[in-house]
Amino acid sequence: MTIYKSSDGEHAVKQCYNEVLTLWPVAVESLTLPTHHGDTHVLACGDATLPPLLLMHGAMSNATAWLHNIEEWSKHFRLYAIDMIGEPGLSAAVRLPMDSDAYALWLDEVMQGLSLSNVAIVGESLGGWLALDYANRRPENVNRLALLVPGGVGPQRKFLLKALPLMLLGKWGKRKVHEMIFGPEEKNPSAIDLKFQQFFTLISQHVIPRLDKLPIFSDQTLQTIKAPTLAIVAGKDVLLDAKATQARLEANLADIKVIYQANARHLIRDRSDILTFLMKHNHD
């Protein structure tokens, strides 16, 4: 099984991943953990004596997605940014059935490989779905959750119907789709932003996107989650229904705070509330 359209494309994506890694702002360890589904790659940084924090990225992405947050967060936590299997990182290119406990079992193996038993998790989009799924199935392993535009709560929007005609219009159309998801490009992009633009372009060119819909959690499933939870949702999210996500989280989670960023896109840029939330619960 592969998620890449060609072996050349896979090589280009992985090469760019390693180039992004050279921009990492703190000392980082590159760990490869064996699992039943193949190797899982993890970027670890921050003092090993600090509390552990797992970082779970979204679809069509990888552990480098946290680059802008690493420097600040690693002062307070031992960070483990995981390349989710089946996504364009350095982990096995295997996509598991989402309507099962397969991802939870995989994450059990990752936790075991890292010698972790109780963690905080930050999850974005697909990674938010995975964080909720894991907190439901393994409540004893998760002490708090911070979710950015989490999947599996509100309905997915029919974005592909809008995006496909634009994608046929060459570079201009692809740029419009990119802006709809991520917001307008920076006027004076930094070296890091330019490298990320290049990386995203390579991923969108060479990786086969997931076409399966994320399973929606039932009210009963959400009600089992007892870990203190922060969720940030985006008013201009073209992929997920932010209002429905907020309403269902507030109705069902025992300890929940939802922040609605009215002008934010699916990529939440302002993440300052996450560290405040995690630090508060660090001292509770």
Tokens of 81: 């940014």
DSSP three-state, residue 273: helix
Q: Is the pLDDT of residue 161 over 80?
A: no
**Which pLDDT tens digit goes with each residue over 84-121?**
999 999 999 999 999 999 999 999 999 999 999 999 99
**Which pLDDT tens digit goes with each residue over 21-57?**
999 999 999 999 999 999 999 999 999 999 999 999 9
Other C-beta atoms lying within 10 Å of the C-beta of residue 172: 8
User: Which residues have a Cβ under 8 Å from the Cβ of 244 and sit 6 or more positions away?
Assistant: 153, 154, 155
pLDDT of residue 184: 73
pLDDT of residue 147: 98
Note the Cα 268 to chain centre separation in Å.
Answer: 11
| Residue closest to 15 by CA, chosen among 163, 259, 198 | 198
First to last CA, the chain: 45
pLDDT of residue 82: 98
> Concatenated DSSP letters for 176-189?
HHHHHHH-SPPSS-
As a whole number of angstroms, the distance between CA 39 and CA 31 comes to 10
As a whole number of angstroms, the distance between CA 91 and CA 156 comes to 26
Instruction: Give backbone dihedrals phi and psi of 194, rounded to 5 degrees, phi first.
Output: -65, -40
User: Which residues have a Cβ under 8 Å from the Cβ of 40 and sit 6 or more positions away?
Assistant: 32, 33, 34, 82, 83, 85, 91, 92, 106, 109, 110, 113
Tokens 């998620």 belong to residue: 3
**Which pLDDT tens digit goes with each residue over 180-213?**
677 777 778 888 888 888 898 899 889 998 888 8
Tell me what the pLDDT averaged over the chain comes to. 91
pLDDT of residue 33: 98
Q: Is the pLDDT of residue 282 over 60?
A: yes
As a whole number of angstroms, the distance between CA 86 and CA 66 comes to 18
Domains of the chain: 7-283 (3.40.50.1820)
